[in-house]
């Protein structure tokens, strides 16, 4: 019985020393939009924030259609070209339809980051 306990402890020490913990996934470095509480006072700002909407819509194909405001965009590379020409103080709002897979939402987010845009928020669906 003693040898069985010794083997158990040796195996336990072996597995504890060789375990490798998986690194946590990256956290999106952006903020989610805040919803106003009912009856709460909203702060007035002197400067108007220019918002540019990136919409992801489901079509018949596998990949959703990308719209920058009302302009249809063919690919993430074309979206990066348009975003690269914009001033830095523009707020980008990513608005995916409810059935768009997350990988395409993250693809649009990564495209914004590649275009050196840091002012990105995700739209809150009302209703």
pLDDT for the residue numbered 40:
46
Q: Which residue has the higher pLDDT, 12 or 86?
A: 12
pLDDT for the residue numbered 62:
74
Burial class (CB in 10 A: 0-12, 13-18, 19+), 54: buried
Domain encompassing residue 122: 48-127
Least confident window among 29-33, 72-76, 104-108: 29-33
**12 part of a folded domain:** no
**26 part of a folded domain:** no
**28 part of a folded domain:** no
Q: Helices marked H in the chain — which ranges?
A: 2-18, 76-84, 102-114
pLDDT for the residue numbered 82:
86
**61 part of a folded domain:** yes
**42 part of a folded domain:** no
Domain count, the chain: 1
Distance of alpha carbon 99 from alpha carbon 64, whole angstroms: 10
Distance of alpha carbon 56 from alpha carbon 65, whole angstroms: 6
Q: What percent of the chain has pLDDT over 90?
A: 11
Is 80 exceeded by the pLDDT of residue 6?
yes
**82 part of a folded domain:** yes
Is 80 exceeded by the pLDDT of residue 124?
no
**31 part of a folded domain:** no
CB–CB of 64/100 below 8 Å? yes
Phi, psi of 14 (to 5 degrees): -60, -45
């Amino acid at each position: 019985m003693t040898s069985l306990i010794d083997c158990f402890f040796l195996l336990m020490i072996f597995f504890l020393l060789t375990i490798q913990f998986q690194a946590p996934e990256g956290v999106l470095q952006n903020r989610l939009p805040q919803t106003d509480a009912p009856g709460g006072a909203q702060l007035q700002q002197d400067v108007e924030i220019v918002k540019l909407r990136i919409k992801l819509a489901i079509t018949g194909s596998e990949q959703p259609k990308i719209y920058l405001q009302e302009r249809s965009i063919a690919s993430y590379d074309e979206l990066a070209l348009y975003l690269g020409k914009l001033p830095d103080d523009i707020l980008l709002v990513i608005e995916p339809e409810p059935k768009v897979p997350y990988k395409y939402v993250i693809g649009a987010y990564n495209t914004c980051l590649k275009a050196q845009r840091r002012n990105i928020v995700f739209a809150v669906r009302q209703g």
